[in-house]
Chain A
Amino acid sequence: MIDPITRLEGHGKIAIFLNDDGGVANVYFQVPELRGFEKFSEGRPAEDMPQITQRICGVCPEAHHMASTKALDDLFHVEPTSTAKKLRELFYSSFYVTDHTTHFYILAAPDFVVGPDAPPAERNIFGVIAKVGLELGGAVIRIRHENHWVIQTIGGRPVHPCFGLPGGVSRAISEEERAKIEEIAKSSVEFAKLSLKVFDDVVLKNKTYVDMILSETFTHRTYYMGLVDEKNKVNFYDGKVRVVDPDGKEFCKYAPRDYLKHVAEHVEPWTYLKFPYLKNVGWKGFVDGKDSGVYRATPLSRLNAADGMATPLAQEEYEKMYSVLGGKPVHYTLATHWARLIELLYAAERMLELVRDPEITNPNIRTIPNATPDEGVGIVEAPRGTLTHHYITDERGVIKKCNLIVGTTNNYAAFYMSVKKAAEDLIKPGKEITEGLLNRIEMAWRPYDLCLACATHSLPGQLPLEVTIYDAQGNEIKKLSQGIS
């Protein structure tokens, strides 16, 4: 049995049971926490939901704030002003720049830049800086810092924003602020281009890494989900949810209001987290393929589910990725890191487009709702998956029912399966279980950028890992542990 993300430090644990000959009998990925937002939101004023639900996750509060604010537009039957929508998307694009930067450089790059078998003490951001140089290390810190300034300037607060209202946003931006954001957007575009170059130099030019990306151990053939605009291009803030099957064909495309026709959630007694799946395929257990309703909602999934990117540089990179990896869809889980960098470039380019929009400093940022509130659904793409907020209120706009399907949760079955497959491929009878093995197993879930904050809470990917190996009789035979920083 492997038991990582320790039961005591963690908010997630994995149990892997061995069979009599020392191979893997079964795997369980448990989430040991629930906070109950779907219940205690009942009775709260609907307009407070953006600020309430963002406390699900302090890592991606911006995503909850946006999904919730959009659910309020729908609930109050109000169309936000054009400037309000652009300010929200500008804010959200800036958030994506920081979030994807953090994941790539701090969490993912150590595996590739420093190496999957490097000692844990070197496999961290400092090891990455040692390899790529202080200059790029400084750029990572600067880009994050500057975009946090953008988030606070538009969103009102550095961590949990406060600007979302049905029909708009609470504050306009000045020309001075706009000019500063434009400079930050420009450097974000350059930074994203540089990041893709680093990926090209360090990962794609290294055959060992490319072979690992293409290996069966890190491959699953599933459905893919992502939000798309009217031209089927990737969009983080608005649009319809599109799902493609494992062959890349469109399986369904739905408006937020129709999510219940397409997604359902399965319950297991050994975990506090539910397993979403495609309702019209059905829950067939933890298996991939066309007959299983398991889908993924990750950066790679969004690229697979769309026909391209809406900005020119990101579109070039999109085409390059699919040409290198042999066409769409890509099932190699580790290619998610590449897809994330393409999204980083898109987010930065989108930010620049929006901040140069002549409307962006317009003071007309609110439409006052005048219809009776009843029911609303809001969907955005959180960095870690499609995020759905659904509220039903009384005629005063007080929440009667709340349902949430949250970023990381979408991928619960998939990352469970990825861990299981890696464990099955790597733990073999008679083969010694080493520290390196632990990291390989960890690499199976790292692409999902697990934010168990959304499910439980922990910084994405930074879960300490403890592995306890049990034999077929349930006796502990070995314990390994490592921190991931």
Chain B
Amino acid sequence: MAKLKVALYWAASCGGCEIATLQIGDKVLKLIEAADIVFWPVAVDTKYADVEKMPDKSIDACLFNGAIRTSENEHIAKLLRAKSKIMIAYGSCAYEGCIPGLSNFYNRQMTFERAYIETPSTDNPKKILPQTKVKVPEGELEIPEFYDTVKTLGQTVDVDYFIPGCPPEEKSTWLALEALITGKLPPKGTVISPSTKAVCDECPRKKEEKKIKKFYRPYEIIPEPEKCLLEQGLLCYGVATRGGCGALCPQANMPCTGCYGPVDGVIDQGAHFLSALSSIIDSNDPEEIQKIVNDIPDPAGTFYRYSLPASLLRRARIK
């Protein structure tokens, strides 16, 4: 059997997905046995120009991590889509926009002004901002255009599969690679993870009745070691988050923050969590409910911590 041709790419991301890919450890050998890595900027000496020369659909699968933030990110996403039979959004940034997607609460101008003018360490009396094209004495310099809005890979090109997580845990990565190697591929659009259910399903903490009179911030209480964190008033996102990570954060006494995205069948993770919350608040009095909810300081930024660009909200409207 001919070896598979696999490409890996990063767009607007932190590099954690590259580290996560390497976490498959010894299984890297199995991967290399079955597949040639034809493009991976961190590790393989193939140039962008070489990819351009490849015939369309000549790459069997592309694992693409990172969100779409600049003109360069978009350009490469479109190129790799054209060259690849299967396009996989690897990790939360490509899948949902992730934490850098919180940038959609603001716009380019606000981001630039903060970074290059307003920050207290910045000394920029002429208020210089980066420009896509700049004339210097020796010639012209170019940098990619920075977009107003962070987009997911799926909002930019057609995506076949999604691998959740910030970053994906080893099991999730291997599940996808194994499917590629064996050719036993799930239906298009599948979110590939060891679990289709919520993090709660794999969390060892004891769950009883969820009735909450008050929400606490994580620094305000020391939670009981074995009891469900949400039942103790911590905003643990496990109820609205896909499992597959093994409930790592709750086992370190910290609430799940939602990095694996929504469970199967849910489009908007934030709305799902909100509906879960409303059913556990222990009150029928609208004023009291309001008071309880007011303890949550940043509902939008918390409920959409990883999924704002992919959500029904997508971005804040800036007046």
Contacts and interface: CB of A to CB of B under 8 A. Distances in A.
B44 A159 contact: no
Given A163-B254, A485-B45, A34 B146 contact: yes
Interface stretch (B12-20, B193-201, B202-210): B12-20
A290 interface: no
A453 B18 CA distance: 11
Interface stretch (A41-49, A330-338, A419-427): A41-49
Contacts of A157: 248-249, 252
Interface in A18-69: 25-26, 28, 30, 32-40, 42-45, 47-48, 51-52, 55-59, 61
A423 to B, nearest CB: 13
A259 B121 CA distance: 9
Interface stretch (A110-118, A164-172, A204-212): A164-172
B128 A32 contact: no
Contacts of A44: 102, 298, 301
Contacts of B220: 368
B70 interface: yes
Nearest to A19: B138
Q: In terms of DSSP, what is the predominant structure of the interface of chain B?
A: loop
B146 A6 contact: no
A264 B123 contact: yes
Interface stretch (B103-111, B182-190, B265-273, B277-285): B103-111
Interface in A441-472: 451, 453, 457-459, 462-464, 466, 470
Contact of B143 (A35, A59, A159, A272): A272
A279 B298 CA distance: 36
B21 to A, nearest CB: 11
A269 B130 contact: yes
Given A38-B115, A267-B124, A483-B45, A58 B167 contact: yes
A36 B128 contact: no
A58 B217 contact: no
Interface residues of B, number: 79
Sorting the interface of chain A by its residue count into under 10, 10 to 19, 20 to 34 or 35 or more gives: 35 or more
Given A15-B141, A58-B14, A58-B167, A156 B248 contact: yes
Contacts of A34: 111, 115, 130, 146
* From B13, B20, B305, residue with most partner A Cβ within 10 Å: B13
B42 A270 contact: no
B115 A167 contact: no
Contacts of B119: 38, 265, 403
Interface in B197-244: 217-222
Contact of A58 (B13, B219, B305): B13
B136 A28 contact: yes
Contacts of A155: 252
A167 B121 contact: no
Contacts of A127: none
B297 interface: yes
Contact of B219 (A160, A166, A458): A166
A274 B116 contact: yes
A405 B121 contact: yes
Contact of B45 (A45, A120, A159, A274): A120
Contact of A459 (B18, B48, B111, B249): B18
A285 B134 CA distance: 18
Nearest to A25: B138
A160 B16 contact: yes
Given A36-B115, A55-B99, A485-B43, 9 more contacts: A1-B138, A40-B100, A58-B17, A159-B16, A270-B141, A274-B115, A279-B123, A368-B221, A466-B47
Interface of B: 10, 12-20, 23, 25, 41-48, 69-70, 72, 75-76, 98-100, 102-103, 105-106, 110-111, 114-116, 119-124, 128-131, 134, 136-144, 146, 166-167, 169, 217-222, 248-249, 251-254, 257, 297-298, 301-302, 305
Interface of A: 1, 6-10, 15, 17, 25-26, 28, 30, 32-40, 42-45, 47-48, 51-52, 55-59, 61, 72, 76, 120, 145, 155-160, 162-163, 165-167, 170-171, 259-260, 263-272, 274, 276, 279, 283, 366, 368-369, 390, 396-398, 403, 405, 451, 453, 457-459, 462-464, 466, 470, 474, 481-483, 485
Question: Lowest 9 CB-CB distances: which A-B pairs, in order?
Answer: A58-B16, A483-B45, A156-B252, A17-B138, A8-B48, A36-B111, A58-B14, A9-B41, A58-B15
25 contacts: A26-B136, A33-B144, A36-B103, A36-B115, A38-B119, A40-B103, A58-B15, A59-B14, A59-B15, A72-B219, A157-B248, A159-B167, A162-B248, A266-B124, A267-B124, A267-B128, A267-B129, A268-B128, A268-B130, A269-B134, A271-B130, A396-B297, A398-B297, A457-B14, A483-B45
